[in-house]
Amino acid sequence: MSADSDRRAATRLGRAVRATTDGAAVPVAARRDGQRQTNWLRDVILGGQDGLVNILGIILGVIAGGGSNNVMLVAGFAAAITESISMGAVGYTSSISERDYYRAEQERERSAITTSPEAERQEIREIYAAKGFEAKLLDDVVETITANRETWLATVMDEELHLQPVETRDIVRTAVVVGIATLIGHMIPLLPFVVLQRTPALILAFVLSAITLFGVGAYSALTLRGDWRQSGLKFIAIGLGAAAIGFLIGRLFNATGA
């Protein structure tokens, strides 16, 4: 092989190695950043939409049931505080579960690498063969990855299981974001009743809720994927539809004299 051929082969192998071993650093780090952004958006939507729909359902339920503004505001603010804390706790415990699941799978794969290295090495080979690596280049990539146990393990977790570690700061962030987003979602339809009479307050609450739901849906589509108009309208339909159930339940209780 000529010197030029050696250099081309080395360059090709270098790119392959960077796409694998360095892939456990730069591309994986980029994926983790993308995942954190997605999780952030998920947490905001989870908390905000839940809070908004929940309190709008309470408002409509109290109105349909014949309750006064004072009853509605007391029930609304009580629900806002308790559910914001509850949703933050749910975000915390769900993130803890994700972290524990990741660690359990990590230990299982670590044990498999120790007890069945050839089978695990073959899995790495199949992963990168599916990516288009072949012949000596594939051999070199597999050898490079499996030469270091931590790189090997990280590659399995990311490329085979598609799992990302959950850090303690992410757990705390999820709890705080979900809790605050839930509280803000509660306040959007509730605050008009603090400053306005019931009818204009109800109209404003619906308008603000619809605008907020549409905005969240549109932003979600623009950030992730999909048509922003369809996504916005879908969020409105789901949110206001769920709130309407609260109105129907209130009417039912009022009709039965409960």
pLDDT value for 248 = 79
- CA quadruple 59, 64, 68, 69: dihedral positive or negative? positive
CA distance 170 to 176: 10
| 204 neighbors 191 (Cβ within 8 angstroms) | no
Q: Six-digit token pair at 244? A: 């309407």
**Whole-number percent of the chain with pLDDT over 90:** 36
Burial of 13 (0-12, 13-18, 19+ CB in 10 A): middle
Assigned token pair, 78: 């009580």
pLDDT of residue 25: 41
Return the SS3 of 147. Answer: coil
pLDDT tens figures, 97-123: 999 999 999 999 999 999 999 999 999
Q: Give CA separation, 25 vs 30, 33, 60, 89, 154, in Å.
A: 8, 12, 51, 32, 10
pLDDT, tens only, 49-90: 888 888 888 888 888 777 788 888 998 899 899 999 999 999
Count Cβ neighbours within 10 Å for each residue of 213-237 and write b for 16 or more, e otherwise.
bbebbbbbbeeeeeebeebbbbbbe
Q: Which of 144, 156, 168 is nearest to 95 (CA)?
A: 168
CA 191 to each of CA 27, 70, 72, 222, 234: distance values in angstroms, whole numbers, following the listed order: 45, 13, 11, 29, 25
Mean pLDDT of 141-156: 91
The pLDDT score that the predictor gives to residue 28 is 47
pTM summary value: 0.71
Identify the CA nearest to 54 among candidates 246, 215, 193, 251: 246
Mean pLDDT of the chain: 81
Helix, coil or strand: residue 165:
coil
Euclidean distance between CA atoms 26 and 19, whole angstroms: 9
**Which tokens belong to 83?**
């559910």
Buried b (16+ CB within 10 A) or exposed e, 98-129: bbeebeeebeebbeebeeeeeebbebbbebbe
Closest CA to 202 of 252, 240, 254, 249: 240
- Written as six digits, the tokens of 230 are 């369809």
